Structure formats: structure tokens, C-alpha cells
Amino acid sequence: NDFYSAFEKIISRNKIPLVCGGSGLYIEASLRNFEIANVPEDVIFRESRMQQYIQELINELKNFSDLFSRTDISSKKRIVRALEIAEFSKHSKVEYTSQNAPDIRPVIFCVSADAKFRNRNIDKRLEERFNSGMIQEIEFLLKHGVSYDRMQMFGLEYKWISKYVAGKMNYDEMHEILKNEIHRFAKRQMTWFRGMEKRGLKINWIEAASKNDMIAEIYGYLNDASSAG
């Protein structure tokens, strides 16, 4: 809803909306106007289910074939959300809504890089976040009302660093696991983007190079498209 509202406001000013980043799911949901279940968040349910092994959750979700077929089972959070919807459906009807989407004709660019290059950049970014005080940020959050269980629902850095802060693993173990988890997440995102192409969204792939080279390539494409009408 927020995306469509922002899109319309930008268009009304005669400007071109530019969406940067976000997961493939969020981008595709916006471009294809996914139907979203109107089911409220159940914090207690989520926190308890996040303690279970992912295979247990998958096996339970298989009892709900429609939800199972539409759920990304590589993500524990999404499996728990699907189970949350299933639990809600036991006592209330689940309403699905989609918005009156604006006319969006997207031009999509995605940076393509081999795994070694991508992982080096991930590792560099992670070190920058550590050096900028991320551990201290998570210590602050845990001391000021954000529960450990709640922290497990957030992004990978919050999940694993909170385990270290809580004394559940040492620094080196946390650091290595976190790096590998982000590597795997990035690989899954690339798989999602390739899936978007199969589902009809054209992606213009740009080889990873210097920032200036990539910007020049994007502008070159846009200029060619403009000239072609």
C-alpha cells in the first residue's frame, strides 16, 4: 500500500519512481500486485514457533496444501507466517486483498556477479557494520525492552549477533556462521530474480564492475529505450 501511494505521488510530480534494493519478494509483490492475507501478527505464536526446527515446521505446513504451495520454505520466518495464517483460519475467515495497482511498466536492472566477488563484498560490508557499532546496537536493544526471542524474528545480523550477546556462542563462531548465512541468503535472492524472469518480468542484467561503469550502462539503456519510443 505504501509503495503504491509513493508511486502515485512521484508520478503526479512528473518524475520517474526509482526502487532500489529490497528483497525479490517485495519487488515482485509490488510489481505484480500480490494478494496479501489480512491476518494480524501473533507475537506469542511467532516467538514459540521460531524455537522449533525448520523441518518440523515444514512438515506441519504440509497439512495445509494451498499455503504450502505458496510459501518460500527456505525461510523459517515465512513458514511461521504461513502457519500463523493457518492457525487464524481455524476460527476466522481469512480475507485476501489486493490494491488497485497503478499502471506500472517497470525497467528492471539487476547486478550479476560471480559468487566469489559477491561474497567478498558481503564480507566487507559485514565488517563495516561491525566496526560501526552493530554489536553495541544489539546490546542496547536487548537491554531496553526488545526480547531475545523477538530479535530472532529480525534480519540475519540481529538474529546471530543477539545469540553472541546472550552468551549462546562465542564471537568467532557467530562471525563465521553469520557470514555463511548471508552468503546463502544472497544466493537465494539471485535464484528468486531468475525466477521472476520465468514468471514474465524482464530483467536487464548488468555485470558487476565499477559504480561509474554500471551507471553509464544503465543510462545507455534508458537513452536507447527513450530514442526507440
Task: Give the pLDDT confidence of 49-80 residue by residue, as tens digits.
Answer: 998 999 999 999 999 988 888 787 878 888 99
User: How far is 190 from 154, CA to CA, in rounded Å?
Assistant: 21
User: How far is 36 from 98, CA to CA, in rounded Å?
Assistant: 6
- Grid coordinates belonging to 23: 528483497
Q: Which of 11, 180, 94, 130 is nearest to 3 (CA)?
A: 11
Mean of pLDDT over the chain: 89
> Does 25 score more than 60 pLDDT?
yes
Mean pLDDT of the region 14-27: 85
pLDDT for the residue 228: 61
User: How far is 67 from 88, CA to CA, in rounded Å?
Assistant: 13
- The number of residues in the chain equals 229
Q: Are 76 and 152 in contact (CB under 8 A)?
A: no
Q: What's the whole-model pTM score?
A: 0.72
pLDDT for the residue 226: 64
Q: Give one DSSP letter per residue of 130-175, joined into a string.
A: HHTTHHHHHHHHHHTT--HHHHTTS-HHHHHHHHHHTTSS-HHHHH
Q: Are 160 and 178 in contact (CB under 8 A)?
A: yes
Per-residue pLDDT of 116-162, as tens digits, reads 999 999 999 999 999 999 999 999 999 999 998 888 878 899 999 99
